[in-house]
Amino acid sequence: MSIDEIIYRMLSARIFKNREKLRPDYVPEYLPHREAEINKLAEILAPAVRGVRPSNVFIYGLPGTGKTAVTKYVLRKIETYARNYSQDVKLKVAYINCRNENTSYRVLFNLCNYLNERVPFTGLSTAELFRRFIGALDKEKNLLFVVLDEVDFLVKVSGDDVLYKLTRINPDLHNAKVSIIGITNDLKFVEYLDPRVKSTLGEEELVFRPYTTEELADILADRAKQAFYEGVLDEAVIPLCATLAAREHGDARRALDLLRVAGEIAEREGSPKVLEDHARKAYREIEKDRAVEVIRSMPIHTKLITIAAYLVRRRKSEATTGEIYETYRSLCKKLMIDELTQRRVSDIINELDMLGIVNAKVVSKGRYGRTKIVNLAISEKALVEGLKNDLRLSTLILADSI
Ligand SMILES: Nc1ncnc2c1ncn2[C@@H]1O[C@H](COP(=O)(O)OP(=O)(O)OP(=O)(O)O)[C@@H](O)[C@H]1O
Ligand SMILES: [Mg+2]
């Protein structure tokens, strides 16, 4: 295909009316199947429109269950009402995504910025930053919502010091008030949180459950109407995207990504319609990217075990955990690092199974008892791509005998 053809195809494509409506950070006007959560959160936060401080809220649930969208949606409404009805108290919303702002300093720096308090980008102590923040905040009758989205990142990187201070700030304020909304999809994090922080942050708690396949289909149908030209989507596409996105847990982000990528593939191929096959291709593309991401972020031993599983399977048709362990040990020797115990390796293989990187199944071998057979569940391409940044490890795959 020539460049003119590529561009011509794009120009003549009539697939997306408005692609932006499928982007993950777009907050739609209507959030199907979250009425109960929206109402509950609105009930908790509504006192703000009369200048009364709402309880802190802790929101958790698996990825893509609408936590961020619902929170932004409800706060937007509350802000609008407060602007019209609450004369003496100024309502402010500081939304901070802790995936990016993952240190105490950055969080406080952002909070000062919201209040137009100029502070240096680095160099002050966090105690000083905190003083400046309180000073700026307490100048007026402010009611500040601090939304700490993906708050587990902050706590993992910098501990829960800021969280602790922020949840106990109100007694030190004379004019202003603060409500904290913490959001996380890391359910383990909730258990690890300091009980004192957990109890003040979790004055109110909201749990978002995963969507069902049917619910995902409704969500997609609603967004698709805004995003695609009429009649462009084959009727099998939405149910398929919903089913594929519900495989692990009902994740609306995955569902929307699938639909968007399916549309993009159809567009690239110059197809006038988005078909089932485009959705399947989108699934493979997204799965590969996800596997690459998972591999990239794995600790070294987990990477080595994955490589070992791959190498054993390249030699023979079945790989047992014992064989993987032996290969893993020789890889460790080669790299001169200490190996983990067989027990630990076996645990890691189970984790890899849960992540969808390998498939493990126990089979009975007659009088030799039961043994576990392990298969790599991802493509060689994804494995190579995921290890690309680590030269030592990627050469291990290329070497054909260990
Ligand atoms: N009920 C819904 N109706 C329409 N769109 C939705 C709904 N729930 C979620 N979405 C959309 O799905 C995507 C993911 O939702 P959101 O970002 O709120 O998930 P989340 O629970 O915050 O996930 P994470 O834990 O990964 O941050 C967003 O594009 C959002 O607009
Ligand atoms: Mg979110």
Per-residue model confidence as pLDDT tens digits over 112-133: 999 999 999 888 999 999 999 9
Q: Is the CB of 33 under 6 A from ligand 1?
A: yes
Instruction: Of 216, 220, 218, 257, give the one whose Cα is nearest residue 23.
Output: 257
Taken in order 276, 282, 285, 290, the sign of the CA dihedral is: negative
**Distance between CA atoms of 314 and 103, rounded to whole angstroms?**
44
Q: What is the pLDDT of residue 192?
A: 76
Q: What is the pLDDT of residue 389?
A: 87
Q: Which ligand is nearest to the CA of 252?
A: 1
Q: Is the CB of 63 under 6 A from ligand 1?
A: yes
What are the structural domains, with CATH classification, of the chain? 35-208 (3.40.50.300), 211-294 (1.10.8.60), 299-398 (1.10.10.10)
Q: What is the pLDDT of residue 399?
A: 67
Location of structure tokens 């968007």: 260
Instruction: Measure 308 CA to ligand 2 centroid, in angstroms.
Output: 35
The tokens for 154 are: 């902050």
- β-strands 358-364, 370-376 pairing: antiparallel
Helix (H) or strand (E) holding 329: helix 321-335
Instruction: Of 207, 189, 185, give the one whose Cα is nearest residue 198.
Output: 189
> Ligand 1, from 26, 215, 253: best to mutate by most atoms within 8 Å of Cβ?
253
The chain-wide mean pLDDT, for the chain, equals 91
Instruction: Measure 224 CA to ligand 1 centroid, in angstroms.
Output: 15
Instruction: Measure 224 CA to ligand 2 centroid, in angstroms.
Output: 21
Q: Is the CB of 71 under 6 A from ligand 1?
A: no
Residue nearest to atom 31 of ligand 1 (CA): 27
Q: Which ligand is nearest to the CA of 32?
A: 1
> Ligand 1, from 65, 151, 222, 251: best to mutate by most atoms within 8 Å of Cβ?
65
Q: Is the CB of 66 under 6 A from ligand 1?
A: yes
Which pTM does this prediction carry? 0.82
What are the backbone angles phi and psi of residue 52, rounded to the nearest 5°? -90, 140
What are the backbone angles phi and psi of residue 329, rounded to the nearest 5°? -65, -40
> Ligand 1, from 34, 35, 68: best to mutate by most atoms within 8 Å of Cβ?
68
Q: Is the CB of 24 under 6 A from ligand 1?
A: yes
Give, in order, the Cα–Cα distances in Å from 327 to each of 306, 309, 323, 359, 396.
Answer: 11, 8, 6, 18, 11
Count of beta carbons in the 10 Å neighbourhood of residue 229: 13
Q: What is the pLDDT of residue 261?
A: 96
Q: Tens digits of per-residue pLDDT, 160-182?
A: 899 999 999 999 999 999 999 99
Secondary structure (3-state) at 147: strand
Q: Is the CB of 34 under 6 A from ligand 1?
A: yes
Q: Which ligand is nearest to the CA of 152?
A: 1
**283 in Cβ contact with 258 (< 8 Å):** yes
Instruction: Measure 322 CA to ligand 2 centroid, in angstroms.
Output: 40
Instruction: Measure 101 CA to ligand 2 centroid, in angstroms.
Output: 14
**178 in Cβ contact with 53 (< 8 Å):** yes
Instruction: Measure 119 CA to ligand 1 centroid, in angstroms.
Output: 33
Query: What parts of the chain have a pLDDT lower than 70?
Result: 86, 399-402
**Distance between CA atoms of 234 and 216, rounded to whole angstroms?**
17
Secondary structure (3-state) at 362: strand
The residues near 196 (Cβ < 8 Å, ≥ 6 apart) are 164
Instruction: Measure 205 CA to ligand 2 centroid, in angstroms.
Output: 16
